Structure 1
């Protein structure tokens, strides 16, 4: 959760736009720039696209007047607008251009330098380049003496250390900041939240609950919805694996407040938590809401990025076309001759390139065809060998068993045939044996997911599987596949949920669907028999929680089977 972090960044970024505006006219003799002035009016109205457009036009006017400092301020504010709309790469590009026009030895440029380096730090942090972010924040400290600006910069540094898991340094910075401002400051709730969160991340035995609740209460006194939003997020995260009902309560409060603040990133985080904590149709409702919000956020960010790029492109294009027209007017005849020469050269070069490309493509096609044939032959030989080793040897083993054991039980024969079937089916997966196991599970689930049957998978991440034995993971894979095969054949389900839960050394896999369930006179057959056999092998238990007309829900629990 980054909300209290966002509060500080939002304040520092908009203070930059305001103070940079205040510092723009260091000399009373300089003319006003109407485009630059209008951009700040539009910023106040939250008309980002239009503000960016007039900042760009203002930059062009500053350039015409040869006012490099004005150009720098325009680029700094464009960079801030780009970062606020999620265009981090574009923001960094604009800030780097601004740095070319700023002079570090000129005190009149200090605040613009401070804002520019801070913005570079924010955008780099958003892209998870934490070393760059820290370097830019430390650079920004050189160009401000304002206590609030320094407070926010040190907070940003602490955030960078926290995000790269150096919690000791983050805690040290937060402690100094809290001690310096005292509990009466409007910044105290935010710093207390971030400090307590880092302490909890550093030591799971530390209880941040008291500080979280205090920060929530203080945010009410300051009427600060951003701090309340952060408090709800941290409380939901704290209760997630301890008290699901409390976690769900705060996640719902966070969702409501994030909608009020019109901050979709926090809406998505709240919905993620609610999906984990919900069942059945409620999960589907939250999942649908999550998809719509995510699509809306991505579309808005892409629209802003494209709009900014288009504004810059149109501006540069207009200047280029104007320059070309001026040159053509000054020396039209000369340009005509040059164009004729260039066209002749281009035609000659084009013909040469066509001939060379033709022979190169022909030769390359022949080489690729030969390589493809050779590779295909190698694959056929390899597959033939593996089929012989797995299928032929398996069939021979079954034949030998039938021949030598006259009273062979039917069940034992079926087990051997099933084992041979599974080995032959797994031939196509040999090349993927080294992939991350969560990806393997995701690939299995994806093969059953279609328009008729939607499968939601929750908690299938690296941390869940990392300490489990190879045998447990492989047996679990076969069990999940058996469940999905049975679902596809018999259940008529339209929705399936697979949830992976871990608490300390206790692991649980919960399967549920909305199909027809098990019949009342259900008799275990090979599918369930195989599942139970596999569970015995890995010291796990199967519990059927719901089995009839409302669908099927069962859980697989495994304790203390870590490596």
Structure 2
């Protein structure tokens, strides 16, 4: 969640004017870009910043433009693209010149932020230290230190985060907004470190200050902290603050914060109230991703058009000055094409031999896989359909016929090896899991984000879906559970799936049936692991991990 101070650091540190002379000499295009950015017309701002980096000879002006372009694409969710622009910005800066320090500190702060979002914590800490090194203003040093504390919190190095907050909280002076932010963050981290720590008074004091100074973003953050704090001890209070966060996020028109609030409401609300929150959550998640993808493509097209025009001009100049060289190049291309054709024919013949051998091996494997496909598509599909119908007061005949027709088509094509491409995998997983949520069984999903699944190929997605389906069917048949939690998270280069229920658990002499045996085989096929927790007094806990590639 962004705080106002962090926003100021991200957007204006490179061009801050209060302590030293201007860091850039603005030209007309930079003034236009700055004006568009101030009015939140980011596509137009990006266009003019890109014109500057393509045509200006002022190194500091170019560096500042790249910095702003990095911030714009980071806001659109393109963190790798943002890092590329920031590294380009650093190439135009001289660490020995004091006039470059503001832009240097801003570049390193932004690199720290993108590294944090990509969970590269060591890099984030290093970049924030560099940002602090070049910061010439105590206000910005406090901002960068606060950002560093956030990294420590995400690393679960709570002591390190608390030490930073203890250092900077006394330097806020009369800035009550900054004091409330640090007070709330410090109380939250102290509670995360020690769940018995009484953080209520500090969190409430921070919220009161933020309300008095009319800091809506700060209030939003306080509601989130208070909801998390009361989740275990006073769920009713946690629900109240989650509702307040939801209302404030909508007032601020912040979809990201609204999604966070909806996650809390889904987790805390009674089962009969979850459905509208879940529907809103799905809609927002899709809308945010769509908007960010559109923005990414738009900025890429702006750069592409600019580079295309620049390349076209260079090509025309080269054509006029180097006609003879062009003829030579054409001949080289012809000879290269002939060589490529010969090579392609050779590789084609060799590939045919290889494919023939692979086909023989596939025939052997197909017989084994067909029985597994029948189990996944027909048996589990029917059981899932029965589960959905069982708790419906009225049956939608058309929807039921559509599902039967889908299963029929899948059954007809069961011999085909290549699975269909997954259009919206996040929604498909959510729909699969929530199909098992009934009046008696509450299913809670945590961490099912599109970004989590985007790194998986289609085959692994299909296997993961069947694994989750088998777990839920096993739960439905045997667990007698009232609450089921499925948590997804990324750790290093792998996905962790944690399944937990409060059912009867597994008996000591339990032997896996065909379903879980099939599940274990699937996990092995994608180089994963399945671990049953043995120290639970009640219920069942299963840990599944598998790599992205």
Q: In the alignment, does 2:121 pair up with 1:125?
A: no
Q: CA deviation at 1:509?
A: 4.1
Residues 45-444 of structure 1 aligned to structure 2 (within 5 Å) = 45-62=39-56, 66-182=57-173, 185-335=176-326, 337-373=327-363, 375=365, 379=368
Q: CA deviation at 1:300?
A: 1.3
CA distance in 2, matches of 1:559, 1:287: 30
The 8 Å contact of residues 20 and 73 in structure 1, kept in 2 or not, is answered as no
Residue deviations 1:45-80 (CA, integer Å, cap 9, x gap):
110111011100122221xxx322221111111112
Residues 329 and 478 (structure 1 numbering): CA distance in 2 closer, same or farther, change over 3 Å?
A: closer
Flag the structure with larger Rg. Answer: 1
Q: CA deviation at 1:180?
A: 2.6
Match of 1:11 in 2: 8
Q: CA deviation at 1:252?
A: 1.0
Residue deviations 1:21-46 (CA, integer Å, cap 9, x gap):
9989669xx7x522111000001111
SS of the aligned residue for 1:457 comes to strand
Residues 359 and 254 (structure 1 numbering): CA distance in 2 closer, same or farther, change over 3 Å?
A: same
Residues 478 and 333 (structure 1 numbering): CA distance in 2 closer, same or farther, change over 3 Å?
A: closer
CA distance in 2, matches of 1:220, 1:341: 74
SS of the aligned residue for 1:178 comes to helix
The 8 Å contact of residues 231 and 238 in structure 2, kept in 1 or not, is answered as yes
What's the TM-score, normalizing by structure 2? Answer: 0.69
The 8 Å contact of residues 501 and 509 in structure 1, kept in 2 or not, is answered as no
Match of 1:457 in 2: 443
Residues 153 and 145 (structure 1 numbering): CA distance in 2 closer, same or farther, change over 3 Å?
A: same
Q: In the alignment, does 2:27 pair up with 1:33?
A: yes
SS of the aligned residue for 2:197 comes to coil
- Tell me whether 202-211 or 6-15 shows the greater mean CA deviation: 6-15
RMSD (CA atoms): 3.7
Match of 2:477 in 1: 481
CA distance in 2, matches of 1:24, 1:366: 72
Match of 1:518 in 2: none
Q: CA deviation at 1:103?
A: 0.7
CA distance in 2, matches of 1:448, 1:224: 37
Provide structure 2 residue ranges, at least 5 long, that are not aligned to the other structure.
373-427, 449-469, 488-499, 509-534, 542-549
The 8 Å contact of residues 20 and 111 in structure 1, kept in 2 or not, is answered as no
Q: CA deviation at 1:317?
A: 1.3
CA distance in 2, matches of 1:219, 1:35: 38
Residue deviations 1:237-291 (CA, integer Å, cap 9, x gap):
1121222221111111101111121211110111111112223442110001101
Residues 445 and 286 (structure 1 numbering): CA distance in 2 closer, same or farther, change over 3 Å?
A: closer
CA distance in 2, matches of 1:443, 1:483: 21
Residues 136 and 475 (structure 1 numbering): CA distance in 2 closer, same or farther, change over 3 Å?
A: closer
